Amino acid sequence: MPTRREFLGAVAAGASAAACAGPGVVRSAEAAASLSAADNARDEDFWAEIQRAYSVDRSAINLNNGGVSPSPGFVQDAMERHLRFSNELPSHNLWDVLQPQREEVRVELARQFGCDAEEIAITRNASEGLQTCQLGFDLEPGDEVLCTELDYPRMLTTFRQRERRDGVRLVTFPIPAPNEDLAAIVDLYRRRLSERTKLILCCHVISVTGQVLPVREIVALGRDRGIPVIVDGAHAFGHLDFSVRDLDCDYYATSLHKWMCAPHGNGMLYVRRDKIGSLWPLMAAPAGKSDDVRKFEEVGTQPLANSLAIREALAFHKDLGAQRKLARLVHLRDSWIDRLTRHERVRLLTNVRPGFAGGMAAFTLRGVKAFDLTAHLWKVHRIKTSWFRMGEFGGVRVSPHVYTKPSEIGRFCDAMDAIIRGGIPS
Ligand SMILES: Cc1ncc(COP(=O)(O)O)c(C=O)c1O
């Protein structure tokens, strides 16, 4: 990991250290004093440089980065460069020149995820990787698949289609928000298992609340009974500081256009090497490719510009450092939570104790519908948040990113103070 000063020098020059120079080329005259991640999280000079790497619209405040995030300018530049090159001589530049470079992306993704490159497929988003797993196991009528009611709606839809098509049964159960006890969560899964359970889907980070689940324990629960566990990591990679070894899972899919800030339309699927052969791909692949992870990428002609620019996004993330990044996200999260929770009508839906959440959290404001609140924040204050239904009033999720300014968090809190005092005109 470069020193802070080396990293900032490179960012100011318009690229991350690794992206612009390769190992060791960007050098500072003297070694920068290194701060702990927690101290660094408060170093506004450092973060001001990171903010400048993004070309976001500052007339709005984007606190919905959990939905989809912007890429730093140099990631967009790389993508545009590849796109222009593709169009100069498509059949040659796209297939002969750029396609082989996807292998370098695979290697770098594997390095950062902590696995072998032969276990990584580059997908178009988390949904594609997850559906590969959800639809890729042979199931019999009456077999059960298990997940929570707070799993991502599209993933529930995928299992519901399997119910209609294959006669399997989807078993879901409620999960508390906030989660106070990780062992109790594992127990909730355990209690729903039956002789017929053939597949479990579990979130690494719950989308609507930002709550982190005890993935390793849920995977172990399934493995003890021979039940595959698909991990929905849409919100975790590039956000939490972990490697696949910490989870010991066999199937993991994530988005790269949320916390990793790769161009939109990027995701990653991890399948443990000895499990690849028995998982069907979403689109047909030749039998000879059965044990090759690339069978999950058989989607026909597709643009390569956005997937190749994953390289720059990964380099930026690596240089920033997963620990440093998470500490900043947590710092931003705590700064709005500290102010909002002074109001007794605000209830936090996320347990933010260390290990239970990253930079995303959700709250509910008694007496105000979440949908009305998010609509008002956007219409009147140009502040983007996201809402979800949970009980009568639902919840509002707040997800800043590394480019978010503390002053923007302050404006969000001011707007909330005004709403809490004066209400929302109907
Ligand atoms: C938990 C979870 N799973 C899956 C997805 C789907 O991700 P993508 O849009 O990258 O397919 C999302 C998107 O927000 C999500 O929050």
Mean pLDDT by 10 residues, the chain (426 residues): 65 53 30 72 97 98 98 98 98 98 98 98 98 98 97 97 98 96 97 98 98 98 98 98 98 98 98 98 98 97 97 97 98 98 97 97 96 97 94 89 98 98 88
User: Which atom of ligand 1 is least distant from the CA of 258?
Assistant: 10
pLDDT of residue 256: 98
Enclosing H/E stretch for 363: strand 361-365
**Together in a domain, 282 and 330:** no
Does the CB atom of residue 255 touch ligand 1 within 6 A?
yes
Provide the token pair at 13.
């020059």
User: Which atom of ligand 1 is least distant from the CA of 206?
Assistant: 1
Ligand 1: which of 131, 149, 151, 152 to mutate, most ligand atoms within 8 Å of CB? Answer: 152
Q: How many domains, the chain?
A: 2
pLDDT of residue 393: 72
**Together in a domain, 151 and 130:** yes
Residue 48 placed within a domain: no
Ligand 1: which of 65, 201, 207, 388 to mutate, most ligand atoms within 8 Å of CB? Answer: 207
CA of 201 to the centre of ligand 1 (A): 13
Q: What is the CATH number of the domain that holds 201?
A: 3.40.640.10
**Together in a domain, 138 and 262:** yes
**Together in a domain, 283 and 331:** no
Q: What is the CATH number of the domain that holds 355?
A: 3.90.1150.10
pLDDT of residue 330: 98
Q: What is the domain range of residue 181?
A: 80-313
CA of 64 to the centre of ligand 1 (A): 13
CA of 127 to the centre of ligand 1 (A): 6
Does the CB atom of residue 127 touch ligand 1 within 6 A?
yes
Does the CB atom of residue 399 touch ligand 1 within 6 A?
no
* Contact residues for 385 (Cβ-Cβ < 8 A; gap 6+): 63, 64, 373, 374, 377, 378, 396, 397, 398, 412
Residue 43 placed within a domain: no
Does the CB atom of residue 152 touch ligand 1 within 6 A?
yes
Residue 169 placed within a domain: yes
Residue 64 placed within a domain: no
Residue 210 placed within a domain: yes
User: Which atom of ligand 1 is least distant from the CA of 203?
Assistant: 1
Does the CB atom of residue 252 touch ligand 1 within 6 A?
no
User: Which atom of ligand 1 is least distant from the CA of 257?
Assistant: 10
**In the listed set 286, 313, 340, which residue is the last one of a domain according to the structure?**
313
**Together in a domain, 260 and 393:** no
Helices (H), 53-123: 73-88, 90-92, 102-113
Does the CB atom of residue 365 touch ligand 1 within 6 A?
no
CA of 194 to the centre of ligand 1 (A): 28
**Together in a domain, 197 and 253:** yes
CA of 122 to the centre of ligand 1 (A): 15
**In the listed set 266, 287, 313, which residue is the last one of a domain according to the structure?**
313
Interatomic CA distance for residues 316 and 341, integer angstroms: 34
Q: What's the predicted TM-score (pTM) here?
A: 0.94
pLDDT of residue 150: 95
CA of 353 to the centre of ligand 1 (A): 24
Residue 409 placed within a domain: yes
**Together in a domain, 117 and 197:** yes
**In the listed set 285, 313, 341, which residue is the last one of a domain according to the structure?**
313
Residue 287 placed within a domain: yes
**Together in a domain, 220 and 362:** no
Ligand 1: which of 232, 240, 360 to mutate, most ligand atoms within 8 Å of CB? Answer: 232
**Together in a domain, 287 and 370:** no
pLDDT of residue 63: 98
CA distances from 65 to 69, 235, 318, 383, 397 (A): 5, 10, 19, 12, 10
Residue 42 placed within a domain: no
**Together in a domain, 225 and 298:** yes
**Together in a domain, 208 and 329:** no
Provide the token pair at 355.
């290990």
**Together in a domain, 222 and 349:** no
Enclosing H/E stretch for 154: helix 153-166
- Ligand 1 atom 12 nearest Cα: 234
